[in-house]
């Protein structure tokens, strides 16, 4: 009964999903709490992270094509004008990336559970989204918090030339209340089985 009561209590404390929030910091800022690096383009992606098509990868700047994010000497991805790149992920509660030479025509769409879909343009990524290759205010680590929603697909796009980014970090979502209830019920069954095993055996005279 205690197990059932706890499961009901957890279901009762579930809160409605809130809005997506976007913040940006200096490109070398530490990752947000709970996030870990999942895609660097210089090593295999973390488990559960896969691109639907091969990204355009560059090192250094290439005039008229792609500009390396400021201070980035490693491989980075560039979504060229008119193209998109889709990253499939586990359920996420937040994601961040290092975006370079941010322009207003860069954009990201986040999709997830229960039909969730939000698109954010480059004007929200940077303090000054002017496409500068070197200006700190246009080369930022951008952090997206999904406010209780669960995202499992990220679509990068650009309506101009180009959207460059690197070093994607993410934090996994907390299980849904129904998942918690199943886990707790499972623990309860395991506990009951253990008690039965350890109970005294009747001895026949």
The string of pLDDT tens digits covering residues 33-57 is 999 999 999 999 999 999 999 999 9
Query: Hey, which residues does 118 pair with through a beta bridge?
Result: 110
What does the pLDDT average to over 143-159? 97
Output the pLDDT for position 187: 43
CA 84 to chain CA centroid, Å, is 17
For residue 189, is pLDDT > 90? Answer: no
Output the pLDDT for position 77: 98
Output the pLDDT for position 44: 98
pTM of the model: 0.78
What does the pLDDT average to over 87-115? 97
pLDDT tier, 194 (very low <50, low <70, confident <90, very high otherwise): very low
CB 87, CB 163: distance < 8 Å:
no
Q: Domain map of the chain by residue range?
A: 18-174
For residue 198, is pLDDT > 90? Answer: no
CB-facing half-sphere around the CA of 193: CA atoms within 13 A? 6
Average model confidence (pLDDT) across the chain? 83
Higher pLDDT, 120 or 18: 120
pLDDT tier, 197 (very low <50, low <70, confident <90, very high otherwise): low
Cβ neighbours for 93, distance < 8 A, ≥ 6 positions apart: 34, 145, 146, 148, 149, 150, 151, 171, 172, 173, 174
For residue 16, is pLDDT > 80? Answer: no
Domain 18-174 has CATH 1.10.10: no
pLDDT tier, 173 (very low <50, low <70, confident <90, very high otherwise): confident
Residue 187 and residue 190: Cα distance in Å, rounded? 5
């Amino acid at each position: 009964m205690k197990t059932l009561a706890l499961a009901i209590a957890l279901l009762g404390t579930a809160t409605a999903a809130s809005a997506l929030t976007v913040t940006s910091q200096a490109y070398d800022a530490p990752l947000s709490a709970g996030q870990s690096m999942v895609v660097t383009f210089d090593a295999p992606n973390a488990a559960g992270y896969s691109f639907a098509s091969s990204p355009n990868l560059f090192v250094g700047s290439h005039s008229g094509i792609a500009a390396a994010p400021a201070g980035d000497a490693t491989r980075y991805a560039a979504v060229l004008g008119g193209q998109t790149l889709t990253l499939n992920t586990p359920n996420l509660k937040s994601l961040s990336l290092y975006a370079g030479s941010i322009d207003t025509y860069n954009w990201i769409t986040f999709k997830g559970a229960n039909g969730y879909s939000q698109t954010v343009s480059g004007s929200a990524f940077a303090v000054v989204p002017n496409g500068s290759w070197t200006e700190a205010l246009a080369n930022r680590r951008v952090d997206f918090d999904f406010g209780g929603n669960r995202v499992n697909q990220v679509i990068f796009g650009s309506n101009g030339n180009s959207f460059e980014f690197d070093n994607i970090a993410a934090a996994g979502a907390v299980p849904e209340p129904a998942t918690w209830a199943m886990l707790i019920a499972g623990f309860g069954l395991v506990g009951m089985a253990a008690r039965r095993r350890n109970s005294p055996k009747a001895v026949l005279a």
